[in-house]
Structure 1
Amino acid sequence: MHERLGNLLGATSLAVTDLVLAGATGAGRVSASAAAALIVLADAPDVGVTELGRRVGLTQSAAARMVDGLEASGLATRRRGEGRVVRVRLTQAGEDTVGDMLAARGAPLADVLDVLDDDERATLTALLAKLLTRLYARIGDADVMCRLCDRRCCVAGAVCPVGQAERDAAGSV
């Protein structure tokens, strides 16, 4: 029984990942890591290149090359911070691109969820929150888990389960 459920969850998660990445990368005309970086920068302006790389799963040198590309495309700018830190910020074109990417990522997800009625949506919301809390316990990094999230919609009228799991974990230390 659990094997079938796990298999269904795996297939669903891969299909959803494919839709999210196709929407974000297509709208932004960037790689998956660059799409994640742009979305991260929308909520964390002036993050350092090394930290940006950590959040999107790149080494410092790969993150620097990615930022080179974002800068060449006019989507981001960098400036020197304290010491050797280089800070990255979206340009207006980058902010516009993030809006396009989040819309393109959200549209197919809305279409998939359209088959559910209101009660099923409420149940799925609660179940996903529970699963995300469990995943946070395994992954332990909200920035990494939410690198492609539309953070504003996640907290509109609700508490982000990943953010809450992080706060709970920090409080228990």
Structure 2
Amino acid sequence: MHVRGNDTERVANLLGAAALAITDDLLTAPVAASSLSMSAAAALIVLHADPGVSVTELGRRVGLTQSAAVRMVDGLERGTLVERRRTVGNWTGVHPTGKGRRTAEHLLSARTSHLATALDALDQAEVRALGGLLEKLLDRLYQGCGAADRMCRLCDRAACTPEGGQCPVGAADRAARGRTPDAPGSPGS
């Protein structure tokens, strides 16, 4: 359903302002919570949820070229936040260390705290209603970009899927790929 006109333009403008304010807050939270860049913070969060991905895959998920991802992982390794582990053949996976897992948990906690503060203006019924609307928006946004891992790179996967719930981005990804709901390899699975 597409509704155009003054209401849509006004709400789109309000959404843009809210998205920008939240993004600005989220971009500063990882830096404030640690001494990490946004990409390094996102990488730790990705590795917290999915340890053992390759440097190239990690770079793809956080939006870095392969060479930039190598430099980022080198820095995280120097900070004892990650370690490379050789597995099959020449394939090497990146794993968070204990310090890296604790840092990722701290980053997720800071992120959740900032976002929860923004929701304090709403009552519980409004929070539930907003949740339903955000699920629809995320499905639509996924259809436009098709990059579930990138969209969810800073997500707290456990918070998104409590009590067997389903991540809307993961659901959109599975639908687009023809996967069943319990297929591995996408957010919320």
Q: Into which bin does the TM-score normalised by the smaller protein fall?
A: over 0.9
In structure 2, the residue corresponding to 1:87 is in which secondary structure? strand
Partner of 2:146: 140
Residue 84 and residue 61 in structure 1: after superposition, are their counterparts in 2 closer, same or farther (change >3 A)?
farther
Distance 1:84 1:53 in 2: 18
1:21 Cα deviation from its structure 2 partner: 2.1
Off by >2 Å, runs of 4+ in structure 1:
79-86
Which residue is 1:128 aligned to?
134
Q: Does 1:64 align with 2:70?
A: yes
Counterpart secondary structure, 1:47: coil
Counterpart position of 2:115: 109
Q: CA deviation at 1:121?
A: 0.7
Is 1:40 aligned with 2:46?
Answer: yes
For the residue of structure 2 that corresponds to 1:123, the secondary structure is helix
1:8 maps to 14
Number of residues of Structure 1 aligned to a counterpart in Structure 2? 172
In structure 1, the residue matched to 2:186 is none
Structure 1 stretches of 5 or more lacking a match? none
Q: 1:51 aligned to 51, 54, 57, which one?
A: 57
The change in CA–CA distance for 1:56 and 1:29 in structure 2 (over 3 A counts) is same
SS of equivalent residue, structure 1 residue 78: strand
The CA distance in 1 between the partners of 2:10 and 2:22, in whole Å, is 18
Distance 1:63 1:38 in 2: 12
- 1:169 is aligned to 176
Match of 2:95 in 1: 89
CA contact under 8 A between 1:39 and 1:148: conserved in structure 2?
yes
TM-score, structure 1 normalization: 0.95
Partners of 2:39 and 2:114 lie apart in 1 by: 20
1:20 aligns with 2:26: yes
Pairwise CA distance, 1:79: 2.2
Shift of 1:106: 1.1
Structure 1 CA distance for aligned equivalents of residues 120 and 166 of structure 2: 23
Distance, in Å, in 1 between the alignment partners of 2:90 and 2:56 is 11
Question: Alpha-carbon deviation of 1:83?
Answer: 4.2
Once the 2 structures are TM-superposed, how far is the Cα of residue 80 of structure 1 from its aligned partner? 2.5
Gaps of 5+ in 2: 1-5, 180-189
Point out the structure with the larger helix share. Answer: 1
Identity %: 55
Per-residue deviation, 1:86: 2.5
Deviation at 1:85, TM superposition (A): 2.9
120-129 vs 78-87, greater mean Cα deviation:
78-87
How large is the Cα RMSD of the aligned pairs? 1.3
TM-score of the two chains, using structure 2 as the length reference = 0.87
